[in-house]
């Protein structure tokens, strides 16, 4: 058998949402760099977001597009990108449109005849589609095992159906190790809808079912971070799973030089100049992700808290410009009077996009105030930073518990409205030069960062899991007589 014939062909199908696409493209690169033939499937408006980068860094990866039936599902015709903030009605329509992709997707399978499909967990029907062609479907579950276990255990045992109110804590049944308490208001909407009558709830029933019938799942995490929950997921919950994270590290040393160059902006330069002038580990980085939408009073409390903490900071504010009456950009009524003048040289406010990975990796940064989106969280862990955790939505509360209760590198900020005193207190505790708590968090965070970076190198656990997965796929393929 010649080389070409041996080459495994994997079709990668990310869900059309930024947080889903980026790590799946990274995963596609990982498979390509390990010698697989890779085809990425997406929609016409999503393709340009990454195809240029792929053409430059991984020209061997093919990109195929499927027309997205937005209009047929009652969405605006150019709506090809999912975003929870679009509201429940549009979310439902988006899932309706996504299901309509099934038959064109199957036509593509007939044409391209891949050996394996790796599809986002939001596409439950791809398990059946792949089965029609006798090929395995892998589920991309871009999260960690701990969060997956909480979702699965609440789905199975429905403990939240037995509490009095949304804020009543209940222990998660079936979890090994220290008891973990949740309340309904800390559960992702998806987990709350399971077992209910809504269309989206039914989609996620099928997601769980498809996952158990699929070949296995890929998690963007590191086995050593959470062996107890990885084992629970695989042994008790009976899922096959491979942890291959942090997938974003695939960009280091391969093509990141080029994309770093491309991304340079005035922000990046002024940001680096600011950080270069600071002492090691002295600056707090504050960023709540793309979706967090804090009210003006809450932003004022954060500002006042940062000021009274006395710490130097970089604060990314993704504030909608259409608020505060009249629209337009430069409305800073959400800042305390004279704030930026007083913070001159001490604090840098970035409005909009920030070169996050670059900031997190800078020696001057000593701590991260985060909304606990897994993408950001993993970047923070990889950079070896302790964190102040401030979850807002989705599975961010699960990630917070992993950081604070399991890994011991996070300090939780609690409450729907958080006052400046609580902000200053949490930041102060994280950044303290003295005392056991901060020292211990720094030590653990540093160790986890080293583990994460080692995991993706040859001999590391994530590298090994990729090899194991490819090996199994090839063995199965031979067994099926191809």
Does 276 help bind ligand NAG (rule: CB under 6 A)? no
362 CA to centre of own chain: 21
- Residue 65 vs 293, nearer CB to ligand NAG: 293
Is 20 one of the catalytic residues?
Answer: yes
Does 468 help bind ligand NAG (rule: CB under 6 A)? yes
Determine the angle formed by the axes of helices 374-382 and 436-455, rounding to 10 degrees: 100
Tokens 């590391």 correspond to: 460
Does 27 help bind ligand NAG (rule: CB under 6 A)? no
Beta carbon of residue 215, minimum distance to ligand NAG (angstroms, whole number): 12
Does 248 help bind ligand NAG (rule: CB under 6 A)? yes
Strand 241-243 to strand 216-219: parallel, antiparallel, or no bridges (unpaired)? parallel
Does 298 help bind ligand NAG (rule: CB under 6 A)? no
Among 39, 43, 46, 465, indicate the residue that binds ligand NAG (CB under 6 A): 465
Beta carbon of residue 246, minimum distance to ligand NAG (angstroms, whole number): 8
Among 48, 72, 77, 85, indicate the residue that binds ligand NAG (CB under 6 A): 85
Does 382 help bind ligand NAG (rule: CB under 6 A)? no
Helix (H) or strand (E) holding 411: strand 410-412
- What x-and-dash track marks residues 205-244 binding ligand NAG by CB under 6 A? ------------------x------------------xx-
Does 295 help bind ligand NAG (rule: CB under 6 A)? yes
Task: Determine which one of 26, 120, 160, 191 is catalytic.
Answer: 120
- How far is Cα 182 from Cα 192, in angstroms, rounded to an integer? 12
- Residue 301 vs 343, nearer CB to ligand NAG: 301
- Residue 112 vs 290, nearer CB to ligand NAG: 290
Task: Determine which one of 20, 160, 219, 371 is catalytic.
Answer: 20
- Residue 256 vs 405, nearer CB to ligand NAG: 256
Class of residue 430 by CB neighbours under 10 A (exposed 0-12, middle 13-18, buried 19+):
buried
Does 356 help bind ligand NAG (rule: CB under 6 A)? yes
For 333-336, the CB contacts below 8 A with 24+ separation are 333/296, 334/296, 334/299, 334/300, 335/299, 335/300, 335/303, 336/300, 336/303, 336/304, 336/307
Does 148 help bind ligand NAG (rule: CB under 6 A)? no
Three-point CA angle 189, 194, 195, nearest 5°: 145
Does 375 help bind ligand NAG (rule: CB under 6 A)? yes
Is 185 one of the catalytic residues?
Answer: no
Determine the angle formed by the axes of helices 420-431 and 296-309, rounding to 10 degrees: 40
Class of residue 232 by CB neighbours under 10 A (exposed 0-12, middle 13-18, buried 19+):
buried
Stretch that binds ligand NAG, among 92-100, 160-168, 287-295, 416-424 (CB under 6 A): 287-295
Closest to 285 measured CA to CA, from 275, 295, 276: 275
Stretch that binds ligand NAG, among 169-177, 200-208, 339-347, 463-471 (CB under 6 A): 463-471
Among 9, 17, 22, 476, indicate the residue that binds ligand NAG (CB under 6 A): 22
- What x-and-dash track marks residues 170-209 binding ligand NAG by CB under 6 A? ----------------------------------------
| 128 Cβ neighbours under 8 A, 6+ residues apart | 210
- How far is Cα 272 from Cα 405, in angstroms, rounded to an integer? 33
Beta carbon of residue 321, minimum distance to ligand NAG (angstroms, whole number): 12
User: How many of the other CB atoms lie within 10 Å of CB of 300?
Assistant: 18
3-state helix, strand, coil in the chain (%, to 5): 50, 15, 40
User: How many of the other CB atoms lie within 10 Å of CB of 201?
Assistant: 15
Stretch that binds ligand NAG, among 22-30, 103-111, 341-349, 406-414 (CB under 6 A): 22-30
- Residue 119 vs 194, nearer CB to ligand NAG: 119
- How far is Cα 116 from Cα 367, in angstroms, rounded to an integer? 41
Class of residue 62 by CB neighbours under 10 A (exposed 0-12, middle 13-18, buried 19+):
middle
Does 136 help bind ligand NAG (rule: CB under 6 A)? no
**What distance, in Å, lies between the first and last C-alpha atoms of the chain?**
11
Stretch that binds ligand NAG, among 32-40, 187-195, 382-390, 458-466 (CB under 6 A): 458-466
- How far is Cα 46 from Cα 289, in angstroms, rounded to an integer? 20
Does 461 help bind ligand NAG (rule: CB under 6 A)? yes
Does 84 help bind ligand NAG (rule: CB under 6 A)? no
Active site residues: 20, 120
Which residues bind to ligand NAG, rule: CB under 6 A?
22-23, 26, 85, 223, 242-243, 248, 290, 293, 295, 320, 323, 356, 375-376, 461, 464-465, 468
């Amino acid at each position: 058998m010649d080389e070409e014939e041996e080459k495994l062909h994997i079709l990668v199908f990310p869900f059309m949402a930024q947080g889903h696409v980026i790590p799946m493209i990274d995963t596609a690169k990982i498979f390509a760099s390990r010698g697989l033939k890779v085809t990425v499937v997406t929609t016409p408006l999503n393709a340009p977001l990454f195809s240029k980068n792929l053409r430059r860094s991984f020209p061997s990866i093919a990109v195929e597009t499927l027309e997205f039936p937005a209009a047929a599902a009652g969405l605006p015709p150019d709506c090809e990108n999912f975003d929870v903030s679009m509201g429940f009605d549009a979310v439902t329509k988006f899932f309706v449109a996504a299901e309509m992709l099934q038959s064109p997707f199957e036509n593509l399978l007939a044409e391209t005849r891949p050996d394996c499909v790796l599809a986002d967990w939001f596409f439950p029907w791809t398990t059946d589609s792949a089965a029609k062609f006798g090929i395995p479907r892998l589920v991309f579950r871009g999260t960690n095992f701990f969060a997956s276990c909480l979702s699965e255990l609440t789905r199975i045992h429905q403990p939240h159906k037995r509490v009095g109110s949304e804020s009543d804590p209940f222990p998660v049944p079936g979890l090994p190790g220290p008891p973990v308490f949740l309340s309904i208001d800390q559960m992702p909407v998806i987990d709350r809808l399971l077992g209910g009558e809504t269309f989206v709830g039914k989609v996620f029933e099928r997601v769980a079912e498809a996952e158990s019938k699929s070949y296995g799942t890929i998690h963007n995490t590191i086995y050593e971070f959470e062996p107890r929950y990885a084992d629970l997921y695989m042994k008790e919950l009976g899922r096959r799973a491979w942890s291959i994270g942090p997938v974003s590290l695939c960009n280091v040393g391969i093509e990141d030089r080029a994309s770093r160059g491309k991304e340079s902006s005035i922000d990046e330069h002024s940001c680096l100049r600011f950080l270069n002038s600071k002492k090691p580990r002295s600056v707090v980085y504050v960023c709540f992700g793309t979706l967090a939408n804090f009210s003006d009073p809450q932003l004022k409390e954060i500002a006042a808290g940062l000021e009274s903490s006395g710490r130097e900071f970089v604060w990314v504010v993704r504030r909608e410009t259409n608020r505060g009456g009249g629209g337009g950009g430069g409305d800073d009524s959400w800042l305390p009077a004279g704030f930026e003048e007083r913070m001159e040289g001490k604090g840098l406010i970035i409005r909009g996009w920030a070169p996050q990975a670059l900031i997190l990796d800078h020696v001057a940064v000593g701590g991260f105030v985060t909304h606990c989106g897994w993408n950001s969280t993993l970047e923070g862990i990889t950079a070896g930073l302790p964190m102040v955790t401030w979850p807002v939505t989705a599975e961010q509360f699960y990630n917070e518990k992993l950081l604070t209760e399991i890994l011991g590198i996070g300090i939780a900020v609690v409450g729907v409205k958080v006052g400046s005193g609580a902000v200053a207190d949490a930041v102060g505790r994280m950044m303290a030069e003295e005392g056991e708590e901060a020292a211990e968090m720094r030590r653990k965070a540093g160790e986890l960062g080293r583990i994460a970076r080692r995991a993706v190198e040859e001999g590391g656990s994530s590298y090994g899991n990729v090899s194991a997965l490819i090996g199994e796929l090839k063995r199965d393929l031979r067994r099926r007589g191809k």
